[in-house]
């Protein structure tokens, strides 16, 4: 099986679930299309990542799994911040409110393609500017959609409530992925 992802969290979740995976990250254009919802976007990008790797000769007869995660609030899509200012602005947007974390997953096995989107609601405490700046200075937000990692030592301190799959927020809804792989 191939995991088309460089995300350390996805790699760990697949390995802990017992899958013998080869890591081949896909480098695709992740630009959103005009009018595309966050949910459409993550499913399309997950499928583009999986298709790019499934097309490689070395992927022949292998199952390919890919995913993409985004944070959605007020019709805005928050991906990975480009710099610390953008990370602070994202966290200010999320402060004291509930947002959605959407992960699109695509599985390709020969001519079969399955994809789905899993959504988890996450509610943040009110965050002070000092708290936001200290968290961003820790470096933890920089490679993560929405500028936080719920699994991180700092990120877990921001979260008041979660409704849905925790592992979906981390980047891969592993229980649903397992069920989709079992059903192939
Ligand atoms: C919201 C949130 C996101 N994230 C991470 C998961 C993803 O790695 C990242 C979103 O970026 P993605 O573009 O989904 O994935 P990636 O670039 O890290 O890896 P690849 O494209 O190779 O699969 O944000 C957390 O780790 N914790 C969180 O709480």
**For the chain, domain boundaries:** 2-182
Residues whose beta carbon lies within 6 Å of some atom of ligand 1: 5-7, 9-10, 25, 67-69, 71, 80, 101, 144-146, 148-151, 155, 169-171
pLDDT in tens, 52-73: 999 999 998 899 999 999 999 9
To the query of whether residue 68 is one of the catalytic residues in this protein, the response is yes
Q: Please give the Cα distance from 93 to 90 (Å, whole number).
A: 5
User: Over 90: is that where the pLDDT of 12 sits?
Assistant: yes
Catalytic residue among 20, 27, 29, 68: 68
CB 63 within 8 A of CB 14: no
Atom index in ligand 1 nearest the CA of residue 150 equals: 29
pTM here is 0.96
Look at residue 87 and tell me whether its pLDDT is greater than 90: yes
> Which CA distances in Å does 35 have to 19, 21, 75, 76, 118?
37, 35, 10, 11, 20
- Judged against a pLDDT cut of 90, whether residue 75 lies above it is answered with no
Q: Whose CA is nearest to atom 18 of ligand 1?
A: 7
- CA 68 to ligand 1 centroid distance, Å: 7
Q: Which ipTM score applies to this complex?
A: 0.92
Average pLDDT of the residues in 38-58: 97
| CATH class label, 2-182 | alpha beta
């Amino acid at each position: 099986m191939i995991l088309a992802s460089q995300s350390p969290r996805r790699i760990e979740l697949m390995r802990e679930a017992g899958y013998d995976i080869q890591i081949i990250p896909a480098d695709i254009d992740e630009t959103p299309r005009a009018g595309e919802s966050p949910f459409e976007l993550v499913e399309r990008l997950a499928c583009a990542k999986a298709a790019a790797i499934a097309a490689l000769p070395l992927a022949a007869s292998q199952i390919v799994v890919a995913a993409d995660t985004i944070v959605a609030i007020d019709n805005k899509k928050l991906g990975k911040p480009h710099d610390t200012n953008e990370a602070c602005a994202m966290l200010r947007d999320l402060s004291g409110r509930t947002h959605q974390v959407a992960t699109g997953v695509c599985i390709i096995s020969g001519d079969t393609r399955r994809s789905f989107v899993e959504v988890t609601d996450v509610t943040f405490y009110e965050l002070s500017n000092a708290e936001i700046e200290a968290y961003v200075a820790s470096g933890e937000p920089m490679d993560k959609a929405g500028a936080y990692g719920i699994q991180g030592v700092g990120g877990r301190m921001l979260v008041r409530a979660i409704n849905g799959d925790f592992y979906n927020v981390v980047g891969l809804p592993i229980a649903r992925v397992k069920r989709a792989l079992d059903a192939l």
